[in-house]
Structure 1
């Protein structure tokens, strides 16, 4: 059966069973062309013009070699898309037929059978057009003509009497990262990036379903369901909520029906690590004359969430209280996981969010320079207990505030709130990323020679969009239990002392400020929503930057082209010199750069967690990549865990031991994020030589470890334990056990920087246990054991103690596992 006949058959089957049905026009045969040309070429929808050009080998893959430079012409052209589809007489008999585009990128004109239906100007909006009067029985031609977003943006910028930074991107409501970032290429796309469909309906249809949680107790959950119904025929209808019937009178046009619904003895939705992610299906059906004409199912979770900001002696708190409990937020920042958005599969979303769960995270911040992610992203967060800090899509620039822009933004907010707000994972709406800071701290006004009036206008425009238009729209369209709005992240720039005493903080003294990692111990904010350090991607991903078999070294221009920070290599090298011996071999350099990144983030996270409850959240920058690149990510573009992600998993354990050495004084803290008390826990310390000899061991006095708390032990003078000249020859092993002898946490502490350690060559043995499990052992300390192979290891980049074998599973069988340790980089 050919594609057209198959979908016609499926459509008819759907139509027989309901008076509302859809036809996915993305599945029709599409074609595209440069608007200057006549020849049409086959296209894929959803898609982007770059992907279509690549498929026809008109442009090379911009992810390979230095090809990004060769494709920049694409952004300056206009592109046309079209499809020809057949419509049956039976389909035309429906009372209403709507043409729906879930996403158009970005400036387009939509034509149906030669008739201009709509002009679009926002990648983040849904476009719904009644088209019954324009359709014909038989052949219909649908065309979407895209204007260059760069050229339109430039035209809009010229209407402003002063120069806007990052122009023209801030005038264009599309994914800002496409214009290039310090981790991503410049690939300004256009195209039909989400599905397009025809909706056929009769009598009435659901426009939107909002579910508000009015009250939540152990006995019941009181819900208010808002069913927004568009009625073509007025009269009596039945609305059923999980088969509970309500009779309503609908007027012709838009109706909002309020439906109370109760769930008895509700099971709560809990963040990862704090309980189960219980979900409920709420099915709302619409009937007319005993026939079902529309139906929607929403999957919800029952939970309460508050953002608590209370003044104290040090400033003002900033933390999330979930289901009545103060939650320490452990998580990460998210960017789009591809430069070409239609390539992001459901499987990729699911894997990356499972990787967050496996690394003990409970929150993810969607950064404001990307997109409102696909439905599968939020579904995965719901299922895995990952709360979502949702930025609106504005980042690092100044934005206009003329009436057209205001209206466009409000409708964008409406569409996204309607789509996302029923998800239990959604925790907070944030106005933007770093725009308040850009206005105050980045010196654009001086750079572009603003007059006093220009500067006042920028401030006025900022307040209009982020303190009026967006929060008013959130209040208008979101239910009361989804009303947490935060205007800008960070609330105060990292150069100001208040950034550490209130609000959320982006601390970039490390990396941008080139401060040592140890500064993290001093610069501890109330909530760290962004900080980070770069590391290379895995070797597999590094090799994927090349189209052929080339000799790969650090001076290769291809590798340099895949580092988007202007001083990136220089900064990495400077930090590496501080802590490691810098290898010249690419493989070893790749390995050490990952260790360096991991070391920096470990120091930061432990400093944040030790400061609990002063600090109640740590979201590092960043989880993922949009292409193969040297970046701040912990998981590279191909989905491989870098050393950082393995360390994050350890650092985010519910119970951790966090020793801190400063000026010879060793302080040790135990952090418990569980809502569970442990009676009489025992912290044991062993001091070993690097070769495995036990020098000393002692136990701290047994103490109770309270729920959701930090237990600080009395600091020790290290010189009283080990002579200072021997610090580079020893390590400390800490073990925490409960009163039954069960190990709750374990960690190793070194007294010297990695480059100063007097390591011996380890004899690392790997024994096969099963096709997907190995045992790794060593005769002397093996620092930062790196298991190499085309598989995912359950643990990697770990310190292996002498005569203490470790079992590691891997995702698929391997003939051989190669291994490296830090010693190998110190003896090139």
Structure 2
């Protein structure tokens, strides 16, 4: 096979729609992969859509048609040669022509397209044209034709197979890109090619690895195309060749690997990735006709949903071992998808692993991610839960959507079979829940809404093409029950989404349920200060406020700021100053999520996983993300790192008393003597106890707090410190608004080190959530830890990596060095007896 990539030589023209006068008829250079947005940005013809209110400025692009064009100089095909034009991804609704001859029409961003052009080639220069029609105009037309279906947002994204969040979401912009978003190439080939290769990998009980390689062939249909061919597969010394008769277009090659090296999730073992090579050939030719190479991993995966005394579990087992999922939901890492590089994904995956995550859930309103994404997950041992791309909407089961869904599912299920990181196919996001609770049934009036897509179509594709992996009908989902038997979001059955917290109730309500698996929960917070002030500026250049129209354009959640304030009030109060409010909301986000994770982890194995919403952002925005749109970690990222740590101490209520939960997510026994100390905020010890304990591997131990340290004399002025080895937790009995916190509890010193500075802080009194906002010192600086509770009389150290050498003392004072103490808005003072009564009533 001869391949010719076509990245250059393209032009882009706006050909219809509300095009600004200055762009009418303008033809600009364009690269592929690319979109109308990236091409115009490269030429300086539009402003950055991520800055200020430019999202609104560029609204005209949503209803514009575009033409990508280039010249083709291709030699005519030989008598036995196929020549194909291959488009790996078209965004989205397009008509393709070669010298005016229509090659085909497309309406699906999530699949590839191949066109046989051998009969159209001429010896002179030809013109390839891709006319991209407005996706929203197409979707509106389909909604009119099929009948509208209910959905969570105003625009009918459920009527076109395009990235749903391209039309905007409660964390993302409404840009509605159009373009050739994946590579385009010419392929010249003879006899046959490997159309699809699916390695199904299993491991026997005795450790023998098996690879069943399914190879689907396309024959040329030309002279020589009916020859017998061979398919050869090789991995780890296993080498098998089969002959495919002239009348067949598929082959299965069975490989057996004794004592196969097992692939494990991060934290559970190593990630060996042997190379599997599949070649297609003929008996008469030395050179192969086609070659396919991927790395694979030997492992087994299942999800345990066998009913038990507590309901229906949802527990991942990898190589037979139950795994507590420490996860985060993933959205496309840049709304302009063609800017996502392997290097950018590498940085994000490294942040995920450093935050002690072991799973990413690819959410159903985004895309099937690139090969780079799954390869990086394989290398790092990050499990991947893959949604099919259906989210928060009722989807028609009529044509052409049914066939398009089947085509994209077949292509992507087959494409992703090599990846050991992929452990679940999921039928969609919140669609089952939406049907039950969001008023859809009345709106639908009996029209189709996607139930058969989830329970028949997608389930059937996975069963046929990839039976080695489990499938779930949706998330949330109660396995084994019809929708009218058990609610799909019932916490006792299967997967659960917890959105009462954030939307309606305080985050302490997380403890009211013990879900079997929480696949969505989260809390909002703004991006880092540097990211915010770079991208979100007032029209007059004045100070930013949370009510400024530009800030609100980058706050997409319904009543987002109101929910932030209501979430702050019981814990930190609501500061008036914007910089204080920014820090307080970031802190509250981190605490809310950590509160949930510690609760969920303390209930293992009843609760078998937590997937926070969300790891990443696609642009600068106030959102639920731990890493903002400029790739900077928010305080939440540090909270995840601590809450998901392999070993965790946390104080949790059980049966009206406080217990010390000792969470051991490691292969060894965790044993030792935990030191428990009840102290005044200034560090004076009031009572201390030592408790010998041991907790088995992959287990949680619960230990009652001894009476000496279990109950404070003055809840507003005392703290409990528990330390086991190098793991510590600091527990207070009341919220910070009720603690007698010193507003300025620290002294700090800074010392130069080879790659930056060490900042040492000493607390005169309890210092809560000590954090260095190093981006306010150097936008590129990185700090090793944050949100550190420093008991009175103790010292904590922070390592800041930076090349900036100006004014290092800035690291020792606001706005860089902050604590909860300096931002809390205290409630009216109350007596110790009153605080004790409040403590008792809260239990």
Q: Same fold (TM over 0.5)?
A: yes
Partner of residue 733 from structure 2, selected from 721, 733, 751: 751
Q: Any residues of structure 2 matched to 1:94-493 within 5 Å, and which?
A: 95-161=81-147, 164-165=150-151, 166-217=154-205, 219-232=207-220, 233-242=225-234, 246=240, 248-251=242-245, 255-288=249-282, 289-446=285-442, 450=443, 454-458=444-448, 461-478=449-466, 480-482=467-469, 484-491=470-477
Shift of 1:768: 2.6
Q: CA separation of 1:580/1:263 partners in 2, compared to 1, >3 Å: closer, same or farther?
A: same
Q: CA separation of 1:431/1:561 partners in 2, compared to 1, >3 Å: closer, same or farther?
A: same
- The more displaced of 777-786 and 117-126 is 777-786
Q: Any residues of structure 2 matched to 1:62-101 within 5 Å, and which?
A: 62-88=49-75, 95-101=81-87
Q: CA separation of 1:261/1:168 partners in 2, compared to 1, >3 Å: closer, same or farther?
A: same
Please state if 1:783 is matched with 2:771: no
8 Å contact 1:783–1:822 — kept in the other structure? yes
What is the alpha-carbon distance in structure 2 between the residues aligned to residue 212 and residue 161 of structure 1?
40
Q: Any residues of structure 2 matched to 1:312-711 within 5 Å, and which?
A: 312-446=308-442, 450=443, 454-458=444-448, 461-478=449-466, 480-482=467-469, 484-491=470-477, 499-512=490-503, 514-546=504-536, 550-660=542-652, 665-678=657-670, 680-700=671-691, 702-711=692-701
Q: Any residues of structure 2 matched to 1:793-808 within 5 Å, and which?
A: 793-802=783-792, 804-808=794-798
Shift of 1:344: 1.2
Please give the per-residue CA displacement for 1:448-481, whole angstroms capped at 9, x wherever unaligned.
Answer: xx4xxx43333xx423211111111222222x21
Partner of residue 823 from structure 2, selected from 812, 822, 825: 825
What is the alpha-carbon distance in structure 2 between the residues aligned to residue 128 and residue 209 of structure 1?
17
RMSD of the TM alignment (CA)?
Answer: 2.4
What is the alpha-carbon distance in structure 2 between the residues aligned to residue 775 and residue 697 of structure 1?
30
8 Å contact 2:770–2:818 — kept in the other structure? yes
What is the alpha-carbon distance in structure 2 between the residues aligned to residue 183 and residue 676 of structure 1?
41
Q: CA separation of 1:720/1:413 partners in 2, compared to 1, >3 Å: closer, same or farther?
A: closer
8 Å contact 1:175–1:371 — kept in the other structure? yes
What is the alpha-carbon distance in structure 1 between the residues aligned to residue 79 and residue 802 of structure 2?
55
What is the alpha-carbon distance in structure 2 between the residues aligned to residue 339 and residue 132 of structure 1?
36
Please give the per-residue CA displacement for 1:88-122, whole angstroms capped at 9, x wherever unaligned.
Answer: 46x76871111111110111011112210010010
What is the alpha-carbon distance in structure 1 between the residues aligned to residue 288 and residue 256 of structure 2?
23
Secondary structure at the aligned position of 1:290 is classed as coil
8 Å contact 1:230–1:252 — kept in the other structure? no
Please state if 1:24 is matched with 2:5: yes
Q: CA separation of 1:263/1:805 partners in 2, compared to 1, >3 Å: closer, same or farther?
A: farther
Partner of residue 812 from structure 1, selected from 791, 794, 802: 802
What is the alpha-carbon distance in structure 2 between the residues aligned to residue 380 and residue 249 of structure 1?
34
Secondary structure at the aligned position of 1:87 is classed as coil
What is the alpha-carbon distance in structure 2 between the residues aligned to residue 754 and residue 497 of structure 1?
37
Aligned to 1:42: 29
8 Å contact 1:104–1:123 — kept in the other structure? yes
8 Å contact 2:429–2:474 — kept in the other structure? yes
Shift of 1:662: 8.2
Please give the per-residue CA displacement for 1:386-424, whole angstroms capped at 9, x wherever unaligned.
Answer: 111111111111111113221111101011112112110
- The more displaced of 683-692 and 143-152 is 683-692
Secondary structure at the aligned position of 1:33 is classed as strand
TM-score w.r.t. length of structure 2: 0.89
Please give the per-residue CA displacement for 1:246-274, whole angstroms capped at 9, x wherever unaligned.
Answer: 55444557621211212232211110111
Q: CA separation of 1:653/1:720 partners in 2, compared to 1, >3 Å: closer, same or farther?
A: closer
8 Å contact 1:238–1:245 — kept in the other structure? no
Q: CA separation of 1:662/1:283 partners in 2, compared to 1, >3 Å: closer, same or farther?
A: closer
Shift of 1:375: 1.3
Q: CA separation of 1:659/1:565 partners in 2, compared to 1, >3 Å: closer, same or farther?
A: same
Please give the per-residue CA displacement for 1:265-323, whole angstroms capped at 9, x wherever unaligned.
Answer: 22111101111111111112233322233211111111111110111122111110111
Secondary structure at the aligned position of 1:98 is classed as strand
What is the alpha-carbon distance in structure 1 between the residues aligned to residue 607 and residue 333 of structure 2?
29
Aligned to 1:12: none
What is the alpha-carbon distance in structure 2 between the residues aligned to residue 244 and residue 497 of structure 1?
45
Q: CA separation of 1:526/1:798 partners in 2, compared to 1, >3 Å: closer, same or farther?
A: same
Aligned to 1:10: none
Please give the per-residue CA displacement for 1:665-695, whole angstroms capped at 9, x wherever unaligned.
Answer: 42211111223334x5322112232222233
8 Å contact 1:35–1:80 — kept in the other structure? no
Shift of 1:541: 1.1
What is the alpha-carbon distance in structure 2 between the residues aligned to residue 273 and residue 355 of structure 1?
15
8 Å contact 2:149–2:393 — kept in the other structure? no
TM-score w.r.t. length of structure 1: 0.90
What is the alpha-carbon distance in structure 2 between the residues aligned to residue 389 and residue 231 of structure 1?
35
Shift of 1:335: 1.0
- The more displaced of 402-411 and 793-802 is 793-802
8 Å contact 1:682–1:699 — kept in the other structure? yes
Partner of residue 713 from structure 1, selected from 697, 703, 707: 703
- The more displaced of 260-269 and 602-611 is 260-269
What is the alpha-carbon distance in structure 2 between the residues aligned to residue 391 and residue 254 of structure 1?
33
What is the alpha-carbon distance in structure 2 between the residues aligned to residue 250 and residue 826 of structure 1?
73
The number of residue pairs the alignment matches comes to 787
Shift of 1:219: 4.4
Partner of residue 751 from structure 2, selected from 757, 763, 767: 767
What is the alpha-carbon distance in structure 2 between the residues aligned to residue 814 and residue 181 of structure 1?
38
- The more displaced of 567-576 and 259-268 is 259-268
What is the alpha-carbon distance in structure 1 between the residues aligned to residue 705 and residue 793 of structure 2?
30
What is the alpha-carbon distance in structure 1 between the residues aligned to residue 711 and residue 431 of structure 2?
50
List alignment gaps of at least 5 residues for structure 2.
Answer: 18-23, 827-843
What is the alpha-carbon distance in structure 2 between the residues aligned to residue 531 and residue 105 of structure 1?
31
What is the alpha-carbon distance in structure 2 between the residues aligned to residue 146 and residue 499 of structure 1?
43
Secondary structure at the aligned position of 2:570 is classed as helix
What is the alpha-carbon distance in structure 2 between the residues aligned to residue 295 and residue 803 of structure 1?
66
What is the alpha-carbon distance in structure 2 between the residues aligned to residue 28 and residue 804 of structure 1?
64
Please give the per-residue CA displacement for 1:507-547, whole angstroms capped at 9, x wherever unaligned.
Answer: 112011x2121111112210000011101110011112236
